[in-house]
Amino acid sequence: MGLPHANRGRSLEELVALVLAVYEEKGVAVVRRVPDPWKVVRRDGRAAVAFPVKKGLVDYLGVWRGIGVAFDCKETGGRFELGKVPQHQFDFLLAWESCGGLAGVLVWFWRAGLFAWVPAGECAVIERRSLSAGECAARGWVVPAGTGVPVDLEVAWRRVRPC
C-alpha cells in the first residue's frame, strides 16, 4: 500500500529540512520552504474543505554563500518525468537562473537510493521527456551524502557555481 496523496513527498521534505537546518547552523545558507497558499472554507466554525488558491511558486527559496537558490523537490521510484514540474514553476526556475541564481530540481530516485540535482537550464535542453537515475549519474548530477547531512546539496551547487 502506497502513501496517501497528501503525504507523498513528506519524507523527502523532512530530509531537505534537516539538511537546510545544518547549513543554516553552519552559517552557509538560509533556505526556506515556500508554503502554497490555501483557502479554507469553514462551516459552523469548522474547516469543511481546503483548496489551493493559486499555483505554488517552487518548494524552496533562499541564499547559499551569497547566491540566490530556488528549487523544487520531486521523488520517483523509476524515471523522473520532466512534465512533473509544472510549466509556471519551470519558467520561474529558468528566470531565476537567468538572473544569476542557482535553480533546479532535487530528484530522489528512491528505488536506486540516489539523489540528483537537475539544473533548470539543463531541463530546457534535454531532448528526452524523462530521466533515469543512471542517466542523471552519467551527467554528473548525483548528490552524495556529506559530513553531517544525508544529502549534500552544497556539492551539487558547487558543481554549478564554484565558490
Going from the first residue of the chain to its last (163 residues), give the mean pLDDT of each consecutive group of 10, the final group possibly shorter: 49 93 96 82 76 77 97 94 90 95 95 94 82 93 89 92 79
How deeply is 40 buried, as exposed, middle or buried, from its count of CB atoms within 10 A (0-12, 13-18, 19+)? exposed
Looking at residue 155, what is its pLDDT?
93
| The pLDDT value given to residue 6 | 47
Q: For residue 116, give the nearest of 125, 124, 107 by alpha carbon.
A: 107
DSSP 87: H
pLDDT at 124: 78
Task: Give me the pLDDT at residue 20, please.
Answer: 96
CB 117 within 8 A of CB 143: yes
Which pTM does this prediction carry? 0.84
* pLDDT computed for residue 2 by the predictor: 45
pLDDT of res. 132: 94
Cβ–Cβ contacts within 10 Å for residue 130, how many? 14
Q: Are strands 60-64 and 80-81 parallel, antiparallel or unpaired?
A: unpaired
Q: What is the pLDDT of residue 1?
A: 40
Give the C-alpha separation, 124 to 103, whole Å: 12
- Crossing angle of helices 10-26 and 153-160, in 10° steps, is 70
What's the pLDDT score for residue 29? 97
| CA-CA-CA-CA dihedral for 138, 83, 51, 71, to nearest 10 | 40
pLDDT of residue 3: 43
Block residue for cell numbers 547559499: 64
Could you give the domains of the chain? 5-160 (3.40.1350.10)
CB atoms within 10 A of CB 44: 5
